[in-house]
Amino acid sequence: MKKILTVLLTIVVILTVSGCGAKKEVAAPAKVAPEKKIIKVGASPVPHKEILEVAAPILAKEGYTLEIVEFTDYVTPNTALAEGQIDANFFQHVPYLQSFSKEKNLKLDYTVKVHLEPMGVYSSKYKKLSDLKDGAEIAIPSDPTNGARALRVLENAGLIKLKSGELISKLDITENTKKLKITELDAPQLPRILKDVDAAVINSNFAIEAKLNPEADSLAIESKDSPYANVLAVRSEDKTKPYIQALSKALTSPEVKKFIQDKYKGNIIPTF
């Protein structure tokens, strides 16, 4: 019995010593992604890039570097955002963003409304819309939301009548006494073809870029209570991230508001 107890005691001691000497497995600390400090934003040259340039030094004080990527069309900035090539974009209004996202099945949203660019009717041939001849050709943007918006401008100017609804097209014209020809073209082309048509309905950013003053040069202009405010668009999952919040705050700062008011003198209106 003593021998058995001795053996058992020896085994217990060995196991105890072995246990004390065993290395404990320590979980490796979780890797923390470094905080993002460079923000890439896609924008059209005028006025969006100009406004972002005012926001850049405000962001710099918060430790962020703003990189502006120029786009001259209405499609690439959203696809680039959805694909992660840029962190945000600033070129479009809410209805266009919502329509594009739904059509392309993209998870995009916006954080802040920054400004309104009233859409205007321009002509290099006529001084008044009432002088338009029967059968005159008027060019409008080809994308659905800006096209509908342009048609409403023409309706408010008394040139046509339209069905009710938001995304109306030229097929929804119910009255066209002058038999106007409505031609749809890519929005950036409209200033360039102005001399080839009788009139064109142009977004203010492209009008200003072409040295047209919306307030002084347009024959009719969109009402200032229009819902088409330009926004900072982001991927839906990024809305609450610190760098997006910092960018949103900078774009709606007093400095940006003063710049818009002083630079564009009512042709572009801050909405914050």
Domains annotated for the chain, with CATH where assigned, are 38-117+228-270 (3.40.190.10), 120-221 (3.40.190.10)
pLDDT tens string 128-172: 999 999 999 999 999 999 999 999 999 999 999 999 998 899 999
Q: What is the reported pLDDT for 12? A: 42
Instruction: Name the band, by pLDDT with cuts 50, 70 and 90, for residue 22.
Output: very low
Instruction: Name the band, by pLDDT with cuts 50, 70 and 90, for residue 26.
Output: low
How distant, in Å, are the alpha carbons of 214, 215, 217 from that of 121?
Answer: 9, 11, 9
Q: What is the reported pLDDT for 226? A: 85
pLDDT tens string 231-252: 999 999 999 999 999 999 999 9
Amino acid identity, position 62: E
Q: Which of 220, 217, 225, 240 is nearest to 156 (CA)?
A: 220
pLDDT at 224 over 80: no
Q: Which of 71, 65, 95, 56 is nearest to 231 (CA)?
A: 95
Measured in degrees and rounded to the nearest 5, phi and psi for residue 250 equal: -65, -40
Whether 194 and 122 have beta carbons less than 8 Å apart is answered as yes
Q: How many CA atoms lie less than 13 Å away from 29 in the CB half-sphere?
A: 3
Measured in degrees and rounded to the nearest 5, phi and psi for residue 244 equal: -70, -40
What is the reported pTM? 0.78
Q: What is the reported pLDDT for 2? A: 46
Rounded (10°) angle between helices 94-104 and 144-156: 140
Write b or e for each residue in 1-26: b if 16 or more Cβ atoms lie within 10 A of its Cβ, otherwise e.
Answer: eeeeeeeeeeeeeeeeeeeeeeeeee
Whether 99 and 144 have beta carbons less than 8 Å apart is answered as yes
How distant, in Å, are the alpha carbons of 2, 8, 21, 103 from that of 16?
Answer: 21, 12, 9, 68
Whether 118 and 201 have beta carbons less than 8 Å apart is answered as no
